[in-house]
Structure 1
Amino acid sequence: MSSHAEQLTEAEVTALADAVERFVRDVVAPYERDPRCGAHGPTEELVMELREKARAAGVLTPHIRPDGRHLTQRQTAVVLQRSGLSPLGPVAVNTMAPDEGNMYLLGKVGSPELKERFLKPMVEGRARSAFFMTEPAEENGAGSDPSMMQTTCHLDGNHWVINGRKAFITGAEGAKVGIVMAKAEEGACMFLVDLPNPAIRIDRVLETIDSSMPGGHAVITIDNLRVPADQMLGEAGEGFRYAQIRLSPARLSHCMRWYGACVRAQEIATAYAVKRKAFGKLLIDHEGVGFMLAENRIDLKQAELMIDWCASVLDTGALGTKESSIAKVAVSEALMRIADRCVQVMGGAGVTGDTIVEQVYREVRAFRIYDGPTEVHKWSLAKAIKREALTAQG
């Protein structure tokens, strides 16, 4: 399964994205009120039902071609933005976090054996995955600062033994593939494991503001997990380097998907504003409402361009750490403004579950924290600015 990017023609990418959009709008969107969509995301039954429909429609895992090659990041953006037009869209077509980022990482650094065993069922949409890095804040574990990692691992014969606690582990409940990060004397390590595993216990699934990701976000105890040495990604001490490979594209794909959700929210709010009347005229004819929708259009375009710019940097082969920080902050903050205005335009209707607007608001609010809070990215950028300025001064 190749990890090289595939350069489709613009027409081919557009056709693929159009097919994804038709599927999400026509097939997936009617499921948005399905009772199997709960506080901890859609049930496994619903996920697999939607994926079977995506498979039949030829749009399952659209960002990875049949020969295993990934689309370029710019091409991926076009496709993933369309998949995000429904909160269920990425789940249905298999472009959802954390699976999309995990597939990208394994495609880049996994051995042929690990790809066959762990990556193939994920690409086929038959297995979900979880990325075990974040740790409980009350135990002063790793969060925005991964160097605080307390989960340990040590070599015992031809197995590594892992112990620790993890928190906010998206999709752990129901996942079949796990990527576990722990620290050894050599430094951070990354392991692939089959799930479920009796040594990985789900203590509880957290009640969170968002509700789009299957399995929710869990608190985990890892108790003497034994992992064969050949299931380590790379070498001991290389875990953070591999995490960096995953980091920027995963940040950016979040931007892509939630951009699509905000496009849909803007459509719903606009349809409401051109139908609902107040004080003798349509809502959109009131400057306060019309201007909010105009500001949304401006923010959407700026977000789209920021995603495309960062994707073009990643397509050069650069890690794009600074660029992805800039894009993550700019896009998540813009999408938050958009979602907030959509709720406001719709008034009371905007805070009900009658449309997806209130869910988009909740999901995007969480996105301002996931994959690094805005403030952490700004702090990181400020440090880079300082280094650059001091270097320039000699």
Structure 2
Amino acid sequence: MIQLKVKKKDVLTDFLYALFVICYLVTVLVWGMGSSLSQIRYYLLMIATLVAGFNLLLSRNKLNFGKGLLLVVPLGILFLFLSIQRANEVHHEILFRTYVQISLIVLPALYVLFLINLLKLSSLIKMMQFTLICLVIIYFMEPGHRILDFVNISNWAKVSIIHSNSFTESDICSEAFLNLFVFFNFYKNAKGKEINHKNLEVCYRISLIFTILCFKRLAMLFVICIIVLDKIIDWRGHIPKYLVPFMSIFFTVATVLYTEFMKGNLFSGFDVYKFTTGRDYILFLWKKLDYISYGYGSSMVLIGRYLEMDLLQIYLELNVFALLVFSFVYFKIAGTNVYSVMIMTYAFFNMLTASSLPGSLSWVIAFITIATVSSDKSEQEEIHIFEQKSKIKKMFSKKKGENRIV
């Protein structure tokens, strides 16, 4: 049984986080991602961020962890400047949607920056456990996810990995479940004061099961990679610093090429519509409606829906420079930690082929994992991560003398 305890001094911070999680999931379940009514989740995230930042100032805590998350501020300013420039070029006013779109990048990162410097890791773990409970409840509230649906053999007979078809699929919960799995996979062997090892193991298994049930092919492949590599790689190891600009350039080039592929300019004769499950149709709508960008997020106002490919949207609505800076900032946030870079690499492949930036909750979870894993927060709070010893892990391991048990 998972038990959640809240410290008195953290009541407001914990309450706002809980309110954000519940509101986020309920509004998306009832009204969907793109509805104006569901945008209340953005305002709640903004309020929670401001309150957490104010509490951090009152507590006089320093920004000891996750300083790289601050890079989203100049990134957001750059996106705003380029959006204004684009709007001026076509003599159009900048849209409110542009501010919303930029907030999807800035707010989750700032919120996490304040949380990890305000709260102990044990409190963050309890937050993740609460989030997991909420996600499981919402999952079974989605259409087609009743208990009777799961015992119906005919439903299972229609499941197809090749065609990415399953009645268990969930667009609302999939990314959040995956990022919770990534979080609990790292901390499942954590031991320390206020850390319940058995609860972490249970949460790890639950998040794994529901990530698979959500039936996203890229996510399932990533889960398999994590499980396999978990046995041979020391996740606290580091990679060379030059890989940050390399990964930035790689995904910038990949986005440009993928854009041409989506337009049908590469691999003539290839069924792009079937391969991308219809996402090229959204680009067709752009062309049909003679869309000309007047800022980040402006395409949604015109066609009434997301492009569903985040990196392509940044490239087409702004320019290749904005895409390169965005990629650099996010991989800079991940740093050189092996596990953090793995998480960010998956996120970028997902943003290349799908849309995840509107999923603020999943990004909050991802940033919490990245920021805590990349820092020495666990060591400072005397939380030990137990790992199995192997020769390959030694190759990636950190220098001797760190507070780590293998």
Question: Shared fold by TM > 0.5?
Answer: no
Q: TM-score, normalised by structure 1?
A: 0.27
Of Structure 1 and Structure 2, the greater helix share is in: 2
Q: TM-score, normalised by structure 2?
A: 0.27
